[in-house]
Amino acid sequence: MAVSSDVVKELRERTGISVMQCKAALEEAGGDMDKALMLLRKKGSAIADKKGDRSLGAGALAAYVHANKKIAAVVELQSETDFVAKNEDFIKLAYELALQVAASSPLYLTRADVPAEEMDKIKAMYVADVEGKPENLKETILAGKIDSYMKGIVFYEQLYIKDDSLTIKQLIDNAVQKFGERIEVGSFRRFVTK
């Protein structure tokens, strides 16, 4: 299916991904913008997985200070090369991630970073909620409650505050697709004063 250049341009402006990738996604989606966005996210995740073993040799720090001057956050965003780390869009992404940290106060970067004893406490917190439920549904309900809780404390699982159709992990995967390099949050820190 032929896709108009205006539609390709709109998708490119929304995602920042190359014109060729946007055009291919739109053609595969039959011109449907929402389907094309989903295809690009899926491909972005696959691309990020392929680049997962590359070394990170560069990066940028970004800080966000809230207007009340009582909350701040710093994020270290890592990339493979200085070429990407110095890119204006990469620096903007680091800033957006710092804003997210300030607004949502995550405790851990990934679920793997949550200590086992903390996971046990979280699970114990919800065990009573599944009492009396059918046996075949208990594990599913418990897993759902734990997943929901994790979205509040695990940075990569949080919904992006400026677009709740994306998780932070998907936002970073989109950047990997855009820049063609492995990108990860190295560390983050949130500060609050009285």
Residue 90 to residue 78: CA distance in whole angstroms:
10
Residue 148 to residue 125: CA distance in whole angstroms:
13
pTM value? 0.72
Report CA dihedral (140, 142, 145, 151) to the nearest 10 degrees: -80
pLDDT tens, N- to C-terminus, the chain (194 residues)? 677 888 778 877 777 777 778 788 888 888 888 888 787 777 766 655 555 566 677 899 999 999 999 999 999 999 988 889 999 999 999 999 999 999 999 999 999 999 999 999 988 888 878 887 888 888 888 889 999 999 999 999 999 999 998 999 999 998 988 888 889 999 999 999 98
Residue 114's contacts (CB-CB under 8 Å, 6 or more residues apart) are 107, 108, 122, 150, 153, 154
Strands 163-167 and 58-65: unpaired
Contact 58, 82 (CB under 8 A): yes
